[in-house]
Structure 1
């Protein structure tokens, strides 16, 4: 998701909360207005303070239902469709509230306030979304936040879409390239644009393309982290996660790579930030003990920075407690030994003692590891500083395992799917075998996680992690 899209998605949550709460207050004061009290006197005793508490609880229900309904996810849906979703989601939220009142045998003092609050909330939210859309379209006209798109196809749909996007800037699409087919030359050209961060999505309208071409295009979009939008009559592609929209009479399907988009991304980042702070506080005695152990046994440096590949192929430094002798650590930080010698030793160990096949390596009984380092690795204590990576936003608590650049260079194209999301300290692959898994199985599990993410799946993995660590399976 582009940053402007993510910004507007994040802004919608507090704006919606304030709008819903404002609608509730308006309904409360409307009931007390003379025009209504003359017709129907107030016979209930409901203080503003008590009503405010009830309204705040109702706001949380509305926001949760809106999130589940996809109202905080980037979409090309028309405004009329968004209004329909607001109405349906608001009605569902009120149904949840009424069900709670019924089953808890709670009684609310005024049915008018409830019904007026629901109606005003729907109206106010519709007006709010209209204003937000107007601001977005104004920014699109200025070229801010537009989606840089390549159109592939030689049919009328490709022509109509290209002309529509060029004529109507309010759609927020900037056509960067057009190609008639997806062949080798097109792939080279699009890869060049992708590597230069000059393209965000591919719009594919070739309805005569064979399945091999479609599969190749899908793999390309995954590898280069580009959105893929299909012409909507290509339903033969199978049961992919899709979202349908219509532009100038042309139906389009956007393939959703992961639920970790829009509201999902905001939720996960918020959870990671709060949970990492809490875990840093809880594990601080252990962090201190590990640091003291390293100092006493082998001195400085205490922390070891190791370059890894993260979300969208970006490089970052993971933080770990140093578990090897400093002269054998490979990195650019101070206090390490001769890098050429350290590199030669590691390559020799990989050749002789690696227990993993494929792009990645894992050295059994690594002689470079100190005694204290072996203890830390046994219980994964050496990885605790990665909580600061999570706090900084380069990692997540749960996600695919991050690998070194030289390992990523040996990836097959389909392996790069794991770079769709932030890498994690723990993950589905890590809790399903740790180092014992074959690399292809690791990728398969990580791909399943990416395509089927949910908050509950993260909770299950996090609860499972301590047990996997304590049993020490696959740790070396």
Structure 2
């Protein structure tokens, strides 16, 4: 049986949506009656209160019809947010059309206020619920039991991802491999081999998993896969997932097109060129100037504190490599002693990758520990963003010495502007291995979207406040 808690997730999300839509309706009514831009109230209160129940119910129904309560959209990806926005726009169009056809005296001010407020609150509610679900899954709740089927190499890749991203909620029980690997007890990642691919039905009967995950090499032909799926038909609670030999590709770049009974997968081109478009540049400039206008008193205070602490410069200037290998001067608040570069030889840097950051670096000053804890040392980089040398969101800006050690794949990080924050920042920062940092940056470059940038910025706030991986 599927975990009972997993079945309750759509109801949990539905309750949050109901609360958010109700709150949006109440706020829209109040603002319509109190904001000075609306001159008369008339019978607005009476008409809107009578219609508000219909609005709320219609909105919830549209969210359901658009598939926002399907379990597969919870917890990861941007599909959930896109469905919520699409369902909300459709609801707005439907309400407006019905009010016109029925000649109902609906307040235009209330209508204009309701849907922007409602969409914003719905997205906030979904972000909160997603964070709750991810934390619960990381703690071992709401997890789904998974059996992997395929060759040991591909199983190892999938197992590594599922183990690393525990918030996805997949608990791997073991794996099945082709009979060619008879005698294999465990994969290279330590996963127990439960039997052969041909034993899927028997293993499912015995262990009752929630998901059977077919990776590349699981079967010899599409006919064999179809027959295995037939064997599992009477297990209504068992999902079948087929993982193609494609990783780190976002859903926005994938299109499934059935042709003559073949589900052909079309992969869109890398979106690295889109990440340098004018819309992103305008967003960066406006965002950076807005943040600077808000934080300049804090920035001035921190610069004075750093200057008075040891008499050294408040800003630390360092050469970094930007888009297409162009070097620029990256600005940061100085968090280390003035002679930090000379004292580098005293430390014992890790040799496993080109990054080095110590949790007990003696060169970090007292103000430096504070500003590093909350990433305040990066605030001056807002000026780099205004100057067009960096973006608000992008790969980590590397040092020239790091770029010299790049392999060919890593050079793709230089196809876009480096960012003040990015997937590496919201996924653990200095706690990440070098391989994970590269993987996340390459994923960002190839799968850029404005929605993803907005989500990264939202997650950056929580990552900074929680000080995850910051030292």
TM-score normalised by structure 2 residue count: 0.46
TM-score normalised by structure 1 residue count: 0.45
